[in-house]
Structure formats: structure tokens, C-alpha cells
């Protein structure tokens, strides 16, 4: 699976931004797609994820109610709509993909993911 993230930029606090991640190379019906972010000097952290087949989504507490993950099955693209942005949302955002496994797995853990996009920088000014 090849992933290409885009949509980052410099925005003011309180505004919105939408990230996109175009996927290619595999049928995605058996995959979980995720967004992670990494701020300078910090560990990469989970933001949101979505099951490609049924569209169910999970969010980190820090973004719940402000961010929305979605997918366009026809375009093989996932999105991260980010509203009410805060300076602490500043980070490089990465999209990632991993195949769904039968037994319970921690899909909030970055180590679970096999495929990564190149990252897109989001900077939120106060």
C-alpha cells in the first residue's frame, strides 16, 4: 500500500484544515487506516482511525469533538477534517495503514501499522 498525505499548512488557532491521504496498491477492504502526529521533541501519537470496510471511527481524547476522520471508497482516500485547531495541534501528521487481524489488536499503537505516508506539516499559530 502506498500512501500520499497532503493538505497541511499554516493556520490560525480556531480555524479549520482538511488533510487527505490517497491510497494505492491494494484493495483496502481489510485495512484500518489511521492518522498519527508527531510534534517536535515528542513521540508519535495516535489521532484517529477508521475501518475501511464499515467506516467505524475511533479518536484520541485530545481531538474528540474537533476532528473527523472519513473515507471516500471510490477515490481510495481518507480525510481528516480538523476544526477548532489549537496551537498544541501543531505537528507533522502521518497517515498509516494496517491489515485487520482476527484477534484483538491495539490499532491506536503506531507500531501496529505497516504502511506510512510521508507526513504533512500542520502549524497552528496562536
For residue range 3-48, list pLDDT tens digits in order. Answer: 999 999 999 999 999 999 999 988 899 999 999 999 999 999 999 9
Q: Residues of the chain with pLDDT > 90: what percent?
A: 92
d(CA 23, CA 78): 8
Give the CA distances from residue 1 to residues 31, 68, 101, in Å, rounded to whole numbers and listed in that order.
Answer: 10, 23, 17
Residues 6+ apart with CB under 8 A from 104: none
Tell whether the model's pLDDT for residue 102 goes beyond 90: no
Tell whether the model's pLDDT for residue 70 goes beyond 90: yes
pLDDT per residue as tens digits for the range 45-69: 999 999 999 999 999 999 999 999 9
Tell whether the model's pLDDT for residue 104 goes beyond 90: no
Is the separation of the CB atoms in 17 and 9 below 8 Å?
yes
Q: Residue 16's pLDDT is what?
A: 98
Q: Residue 103's pLDDT is what?
A: 80
- Among 89, 96, 86, CA closest to 4: 96
Amino acid at each position: 500500500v502506498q500512501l500520499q498525505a497532503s493538505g497541511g499548512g499554516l493556520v490560525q488557532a480556531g480555524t479549520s484544515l482538511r488533510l487527505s491521504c490517497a491510497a494505492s496498491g491494494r484493495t483496502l477492504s481489510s485495512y484500518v487506516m489511521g492518522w498519527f502526529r508527531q510534534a517536535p521533541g515528542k513521540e508519535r501519537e495516535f489521532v484517529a482511525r477508521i475501518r475501511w470496510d464499515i467506516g467505524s471511527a475511533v479518536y484520541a481524547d485530545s481531538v474528540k469533538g474537533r476532528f473527523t476522520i472519513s473515507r471516500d471508497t471510490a477515490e481510495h482516500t481518507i480525510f481528516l477534517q480538523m476544526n477548532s485547531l489549537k496551537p498544541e495541534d501543531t505537528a507533522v501528521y502521518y497517515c498509516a495503514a494496517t491489515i485487520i487481524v482476527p484477534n484483538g489488536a491495539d490499532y491506536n499503537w503506531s507500531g501496529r501499522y505497516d504502511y506510512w505516508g510521508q507526513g504533512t506539516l500542520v502549524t497552528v499559530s496562536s
